[in-house]
Amino acid sequence: MELAEFGTIADQIRQHARHAPTRIALIDGTRVLNYASLDALMDRVAGALQRDGLRVGDAVAICAGMSIAYAAVFLGALRAGVVVAPLAPGATPESLQRMLCDAQAKVLFTDSSCAQHFADVAGVGATMVALDGSAAAQALDEWMAAPALHPASAHITAQTPFNIIYSSGTTGEPKGIVQAHGMRWAQVLRARNWGYGPDAVAIASTPLYSNTTLVIFFPVLSYGGTVVLMPKFNPTEFLRLAQLHRASHAMLVPVQYQRLMACEDFDTFDLTSFQFKFSTSAPFSAGLKTDVISRWPGALIEIYGMTEGGGSCVLEAHKQPGKLHTVGQPVAGNDIRLINDAGVEVPAGETGEVVGHSPAMMTGYHGQPEKTREAEWFDLSGKRFIRTGDIGRFDEEGFLTLVDRKKDMIISGGFNVYPSDLEAVLRGHECVEDVAVVGIPSDLWGETPVAFVVRKPGADVPEEALLQWANGRLAKTQRLANLLFIAELPRSPIGKVLKRELRDQLVASRFDAN
């Protein structure tokens, strides 16, 4: 399917509804929605928003579990040119209230699982609509416009805001990443070489408020495929759905791959329908990639990038077995460079902070121009780049290896210590299932590294023995001050290890790091 240089996802769905009305767009358990019905629901949502006075550029918020109603509201708002702020249900009520205010949302769509988080939406100028018909608010079906009422055409350009993705939903002030329609369309165009089309069936098993999910959700529908919604991830259920629906695509974060490959019955499921599997959002170990490639049919693509946009790298892991320790090469049309702390580009072969420029870049942080400026870097010609906060280096073939997060780097005794290096050593022990290394304050060294380790089932290696084993393989400046066993590493809903929680836990316990 040939797509224009710029278009809208809502218009693409309209075209599929006209030319293939009975083709299945969304599946949620036993509920199935074809393109004609999805298009009609989008019209009713868009019409109701226009009826209530919302215009292009106004915002709505959604805080609910994954469902067909959630998807239809998101897409219907886009048809009206209304900006969508999908909020994480797991955030604290205080954070959710701040995000709702920050987005200046005129309508809040929620369900019974989240409604209690919003005590006074009227106080911030928002009305509440219940996606699941709960008694907390007006039911969606009652709120939507009549089926016969078609919305007015909205004037949408590449610069029109598409959504606001909040990068902080648990602690601290919310930071809303404004993505434009042009940025989302660039992601759709990027996906044209990855097998999307009318026969594609993708399983969405990460939340719809996450950019990780949206970078596969929108392309699938834009090319006329089917999205199977999985509100809560479970490895066996994922495999069952994949076999049942003959899934061809999936976006999974590394911890999901880890859990899937550890399933005792993984090899009993028929996964031969898969064409492409994707991963993003968190470090993906070379060993796990190797296991996926060897046991799971279809291509494995790792995408490195940020919700803020900028530059992206792609690793075709199934084609490049010697580069599995990298995140691949820059995508065509993406300009990725490395800079030092002074904002100067580093020479070839040296490490530096990754900055990127591409057609897919955020407009900025909503209402926070100073934060936006902090996230930007300009080269000598004035070209705008987005700073990633990641430290990396390019090899001689242009493959990017990530060393660590800049904020996670430990400065111990004046030496830079990268937690990923220490984690890689510990993962080499036969008893280690998972590991995270964090730096904590030290009067003697400034900072010092401490490891949190999840042991493999049945492993009985003592903490002190594993600590000595690791330190015997580390440089003197890298050695761990302590090693602690933990049942499970704290992670975000998309699988990122929450190292701040681990640091806070250690500091609160007044661990002696000297």
The CATH number linked to 352 is 2.30.38.10
Find the angle CA(376)-CA(380)-CA(381) to the nearest 5 degrees: 95
Residues composing the chain: 514
Close Cβ partners of 441 (under 8 Å, ≥ 6 residues apart): 447, 507, 513
User: Contact 212/206 with Cβ under 8 angstroms?
Assistant: yes
Q: Which of 67, 82, 232, 91 is nearest to 167 (CA)?
A: 91
Examine residue 25 and state whether it is found in any structural domain, yes or no. yes
Are 427 and 385 part of one and the same domain?
A: no
Examine residue 295 and state whether it is found in any structural domain, yes or no. no
pLDDT in single tens digits along all 514 residues of the chain: 678 999 999 999 999 999 999 999 999 999 999 999 999 999 999 999 999 999 999 999 999 999 999 999 999 999 999 999 999 998 888 888 889 999 999 999 999 988 888 876 766 779 999 999 886 689 999 999 999 888 999 999 999 999 999 985 434 567 899 999 999 999 999 999 999 999 999 999 999 999 999 999 999 999 999 999 999 999 999 999 999 999 999 999 998 999 999 999 999 999 999 999 999 988 898 999 999 999 999 999 999 999 999 999 999 999 999 999 999 999 999 999 999 999 999 998 999 999 999 999 999 999 999 999 999 999 999 999 999 999 999 999 999 999 888 888 888 877 778 898 899 999 999 999 999 999 988 878 888 999 999 999 999 999 999 999 999 999 888 999 999 999 999 988 788 899 989 988 887 665 544 5
| Model pTM score | 0.86
DSSP letters, 133-181, are --TTSEEHHHHSPPTT-PPPPP---TTSEEEEEES--SSS---EEEEEH
User: Contact 176/463 with Cβ under 8 angstroms?
Assistant: no
Are 502 and 364 part of one and the same domain?
A: no
Examine residue 112 and state whether it is found in any structural domain, yes or no. yes
User: Contact 313/400 with Cβ under 8 angstroms?
Assistant: yes
Q: How many domains is the chain partitioned into structurally? A: 3
Are 83 and 171 part of one and the same domain?
A: yes
Dihedral, 27, 33, 35, 40 alpha carbons, nearest 10 = -140
- Residues 361 and 356: their CA atoms lie apart, in Å, by 9
Examine residue 214 and state whether it is found in any structural domain, yes or no. no
- Residues 2 and 22: their CA atoms lie apart, in Å, by 22
Are 380 and 416 part of one and the same domain?
A: no
- Residues 445 and 412: their CA atoms lie apart, in Å, by 5
Are 446 and 383 part of one and the same domain?
A: no
Are 396 and 429 part of one and the same domain?
A: no
Examine residue 29 and state whether it is found in any structural domain, yes or no. yes
Examine residue 156 and state whether it is found in any structural domain, yes or no. yes
User: Contact 233/262 with Cβ under 8 angstroms?
Assistant: no
Using the 3D structure, point to which of 134, 150, 182 is the last residue of a domain.
182
Close Cβ partners of 200 (under 8 Å, ≥ 6 residues apart): 220, 223, 225, 226, 248, 249, 275
Q: Which residues pair with 31 in a beta bridge?
A: 28
Are 45 and 167 part of one and the same domain?
A: yes
Please provide residue 322's backbone torsions phi and psi, each rounded to the nearest 5 degrees: -85, 0
Are 360 and 499 part of one and the same domain?
A: no
Structural domain boundaries, residue 398: 329-404
Q: Which of 213, 206, 305, 217 is nearest to 259 (CA)?
A: 206
Could you tell me the CATH number of the domain that includes residue 178? 3.40.50.12780
Using the 3D structure, point to which of 182, 201, 228 is the last residue of a domain.
182
Are 357 and 466 part of one and the same domain?
A: no
Strands 201-204, 226-229: pairing kind:
parallel
Examine residue 59 and state whether it is found in any structural domain, yes or no. yes
Using the 3D structure, point to which of 182, 210, 225 is the last residue of a domain.
182
Are 60 and 137 part of one and the same domain?
A: yes
Examine residue 501 and state whether it is found in any structural domain, yes or no. yes
Could you tell me the CATH number of the domain that includes residue 504? 3.30.300.30
Are 82 and 167 part of one and the same domain?
A: yes
Mutual angle of helices 254-261 and 235-245, in 10-degree steps = 90
Collapsed DSSP state (helix, strand, coil) of residue 281? coil
HEC profile for 80-128? CCCEEEECCCCCCHHHHHHHHHHHCEEEEEECCCCHHHCCCCHHHCCEE
Collapsed DSSP state (helix, strand, coil) of residue 456? coil
- One-letter amino acid of 117: H
Are 419 and 490 part of one and the same domain?
A: yes
- Residues 403 and 390: their CA atoms lie apart, in Å, by 8
